[in-house]
Amino acid sequence: MKHEKPIVILVLCVVTLSMAATLVGILTNLGNGEEYEIESIRDQIVTIYGKGIYEHMSSDVAIQGIAQDYVSLFAGIPLLLVSLYLCRKGLTKGGFLLAGTLGYFLVTYLFYTCMAMYNVLFLLYVALTATSFFAFTLVTLSFQIQHLSSCFDHKFPKKFLGGFLIFDSIAIGLMWFSVIVPPLADGTIYPSDLDHYTTLIVQGLDLSLLLPIAFMAGLLLLKNKPFGYLMAPIYIVFLSILMTALTAKVIAMTLSEVSAGPAIVIIPVFNVIAIVCSVLVIKSIKNYENEKHTTACIG
């Protein structure tokens, strides 16, 4: 694997730092504190969580952050270590798993850096965003893009995977537009989900970056382009972990009697499909004796 030493160092940094961040998020939630209400600059009454590292965040967002911390700690970190082990053995499936998992940590802590109310973990979020970004970049650059299509057998679900990524990007995009557009149309401007935050970070980054990437990955795969064979498998692994975190958020909101809107149905369904796609993709990667042939797929 190209750049093996820096990748190992960066991944271990992500593991160590994310373990610290998630444990703080989970354990400080167990401390004392009570919810209270404030009036935002837009005259909106917002319920503030009032305890733990997310004490200054609105209650509905804070419980989502804690739910994602559990997923990152008990699913993301183990998958990161397993995929690093497989990748170091030269397995192409390990490379896809590692890139997709690093993509999850990159997006997660990019959101934490931008959206979480400032707290003592700010520099930790910055470090996690940086280390996961560079690790993700190095792993992605290790693939031999021109040979990737030959690394999958006839069971590779190209049409289903490509179609799902396109459909997912459109469906999630429409869900976000349903939050943004109505207030613009009726003149109220500000969605109720805005609470006391400055802007809609999740919707903004989704609509500007993540959803277009999903759409292009699916389209390039359907057109049998080399970059499609790189982007689509990585994105579906990333999406399966992210959707698991989003499902955990929906469950946490439901248990706290907070309305999740259409996401209560859309997210779990997409989560199951993404996981199934990931399994099919990984199983369709060809196996060779001693995996020597995989040097044509990942350097």
Mean pLDDT of the region 105-121: 95
Section 271-293 average pLDDT: 81
Looking at residue 101, its amino acid is T
The pLDDT confidence band at residue 293, using thresholds 50, 70 and 90, is very low
Mean pLDDT score, 15-24: 98
- 260 versus 19: the higher-pLDDT residue is 19
How many domains is the chain partitioned into structurally?
1
* pLDDT in the model for residue 31: 74
Count CB atoms within 10 A of the CB of residue 17. Answer: 20
Average confidence (pLDDT) over 147-176: 95
Average pLDDT of span 6-31:
95
Q: What does the CA dihedral 70, 76, 267, 27 come to, rounded to 10 degrees?
A: 10
Tell whether the model's pLDDT for residue 290 goes beyond 50: no
CA distances to 3, 19, 38, 56, 157 from 48, rounded to whole Å, are 45, 26, 7, 6, 45
Instruction: Report pLDDT for 126.
Output: 98
User: How many angstroms separate the CA atoms of 191 and 178, rounded?
Assistant: 10
pLDDT at 210 over 70: yes
Contacts of 48 (CB under 8 A, 6+ apart): 35, 36, 37, 38, 55, 56, 57, 58, 59
Who's near 34: CB < 8 A, 6+ residues apart? 50, 51
Query: Which has the closest alpha carbon to 9: 130, 97, 114?
Result: 130
- Mean pLDDT (whole number) for 206-234: 97
What tokens does 281 get? 């993709």
- Length of the chain measured in residues: 299
Q: How would residue 262 be classed by pLDDT, with cut points 50, 70 and 90?
A: confident
pLDDT > 70? residue 296 = no
CA distances (Å), origin 245, targets 157, 207, 213, 228: 24, 19, 20, 25
Q: Is the pLDDT of residue 35 over 90?
A: yes
Structure tokens at 97: 């798993």
Instruction: Report the alpha-carbon distance of residue 277 to residue 274 in Å, rounded.
Output: 5
For residues 77 and 87, give the distance between their C-alpha atoms in angstroms, rounded to a whole number. 15
Supply the range of the domain harboring residue 130.
Answer: 4-296
Average pLDDT, the chain: 93
What band does 291 get if pLDDT is binned at 50, 70 and 90? very low
* 175: nearest Cα among 263, 268, 258: 263
End-to-end alpha-carbon separation of the chain, Å?
Answer: 5
pLDDT for residue 155 is more than 70: yes
In percent, how much of the chain has pLDDT > 90? 82
Examine the pLDDT at 195 and tell me if it is beyond 80: yes
pLDDT range class, residue 294, cuts 50, 70, 90: very low
pLDDT bracket for residue 113 (50, 70, 90)? very high
- Give the model's pLDDT for residue 258: 81
Q: What pTM, to 2 d.p., does this model score?
A: 0.94
Structure tokens that stand for 64 in this block:
């989502």
Query: What's the whole-number mean pLDDT along residues 245-257?
Result: 92
* Per-residue pLDDT, 3: 82
